[in-house]
Chains A and B, each alone.
Chain A
């Protein structure tokens, strides 16, 4: 068991080194993607800062809370797509028949597919959350809880993506649907929870997991609650089981294809 885990960790490391080396072949583009993503995220906080000069409380959040919300959403998004970079391409890989290469390799299919890609701009997202922690002057405890949530929320985000993308085994090209639902999750993860009520809030703790990815983590970072922390971890495990099951069931419908392809 330990040998298997070691071999997967080694593979993960090699994939990341390979992907980042490939991206660094074009160094200006590589640096720009990371820096521009950090600046892009920072622009939103400037707008929030302006809003909080007018009103000290928006949806039960102060400016510091919104900063924490942005930090956890950004870093967990970054963690998810630095680690599982092919998560956002899964539908394309499925409908273009590009899973063949992975199916010929003796590794867990889903793990192999997801980790074989790395989003460079997501490095900027990942770093951005930690830059906010530095600005907030966070203590060691906050750094630790934050980092734990980055991992757990990142996994929730990845698994949600797998569920949505795996629908393409059944529905074929659902690019627009996926793009909308991904935007939906991101959008709801960067606004204070209190501004949503009723049915939307139910959605955020069920179909769209923004509540588990962002709101509960912010709440735990404000007032530590082990129970809520465990709820988020349990949800991540539950969602992983659902995602793996849906993917494996869908895989039986995989049609491969004869498209000519190269790897990036």
Chain B
């Protein structure tokens, strides 16, 4: 069952164009010129209940704009959106009870007060009874390992602690869909891992649909099964992560340490990307040449150490962004 259905969605922004300098300012004052930018251009996709979807793209690709239209923050220029059977713009209040959002760059907590005070306010906003709210806060506090930090003013928390508190705030009303907009931005690897583990548990235990945007490919690899890549407001890829890896990870990197100078001119199908002393780093397109063939062509008796790895998914995605 689809919980999100998007059809031919468009969003245009109008912005003023000004020529440089004072002359440009004067001209813009009396005869302003505007340009229309297509932030989101004719995109269509669906998300199933309980799915964990990565919605990624370079800066300015239209990710946040799309999320904001799905959550009722922005009005689309045209197109249809259906989230949990509701129109986010017409049924904003009704939908808000059923969705949550964690934004890595926008805090919803009161900076000078402990997070627990903000949680109690959010409970009122979502019409949750005091007793039920206390129970929910205890539950979230245990799962997210918040401990005493919910009693400290938010301004005194580390970024990682604050982000865990932010996630708890977004889950107080048990949303059916949760939108994560770069939740791991600026976090250290340990906190990132904790957050990923929690998101996975949330999805597994409560079948919460997760709509995830991040520039950290590790988040995507660890959490999501399907990925939608947007660029210049358009969807350039909508496929499972498995297919993405299968179709695009067709290159391997071979790192070899030789015990003396070797000549690899007769080895075909390789591209030497780095050479330092007796160490050589090469890239192989496995569609054109198998690893087995390459190894057969190499002077094995001169190899001290060898490492064969996939090229990072990050590079694959950067390549797709660049297309």
Residue positions of A touching B, CB distance < 8 A: 7, 10-11, 14-15, 18, 21-22, 25-26, 99-101, 103-109, 112, 252, 254-256, 258, 260-264
Contact = CB atoms under 8 A, between A and B. Distances in A.
Given A261-B106, A264-B111, A105 B124 contact: no
Contacts of B94: 106
B120 interface: yes
16 contacts: A7-B127, A11-B121, A18-B110, A22-B110, A25-B112, A100-B106, A101-B106, A101-B108, A106-B94, A106-B125, A107-B125, A254-B73, A254-B75, A256-B74, A263-B109, A263-B111
Contacts of B64: 256, 258
B114 to A, nearest CB: 10
B153 to A, nearest CB: 7
In the A-B complex, the 7 residue pairs with the smallest Cβ-Cβ separation, listed nearest first, are A106-B96, A22-B112, A106-B93, A103-B73, A262-B107, A260-B105, A262-B111
B106 A25 contact: no
B245 interface: no
B233 interface: no
Given A104-B96, A105-B96, A21 B127 contact: no
Contacts of B71: 103-104
Contacts, number: 87
A106 B103 contact: no
A261 to B, nearest CB: 6
Nearest to B106: A261
B117 interface: yes
B108 to A, nearest CB: 5
B73 A256 contact: yes
B107 A263 contact: yes
Contacts of B92: 103, 109
B113 interface: yes
Contact of A14 (B97, B99, B106, B121): B121
B97 A106 contact: yes
A256 B113 contact: no
Contacts of B120: 14
Contact of A18 (B74, B106, B121): B121
Given A10-B124, A261-B107, 8 more contacts: A18-B113, A22-B112, A99-B73, A103-B92, A104-B71, A104-B100, A260-B106, A263-B111
B124 A7 contact: yes
A252 to B, nearest CB: 5
A11 B103 contact: no
Interface centre among B75, B92, B108 (most CB of A within 10 A): B108
Nearest to B93: A106
Contacts of B74: 254-256
B56 interface: no
B68 interface: yes
B62 interface: no
B101 interface: yes
B121 A100 contact: no
Contacts of A106: 93-94, 96-97, 125-127
Nearest to B185: A260
Contacts of A252: 75
Given A100-B106, A105-B125, A107-B125, A25 B73 contact: no
Contacts of B108: 101, 263
A15 to B, nearest CB: 7
A254 B124 CA distance: 26
A264 B155 CA distance: 10
Interface in B82-136: 92-94, 96-97, 99-101, 103, 105-113, 117-118, 120-121, 124-127
A11 B125 contact: yes
Contact of B110 (A10, A105, A260, A264): A264
Contacts of B97: 106
Nearest to B59: A258
Contact of A100 (B73, B100, B112): B73
A101 B103 CA distance: 10
Contacts of A260: 105-106
A172 to B, nearest CB: 9
B72 interface: yes
A18 B120 CA distance: 10
Contacts of B111: 22, 262-264
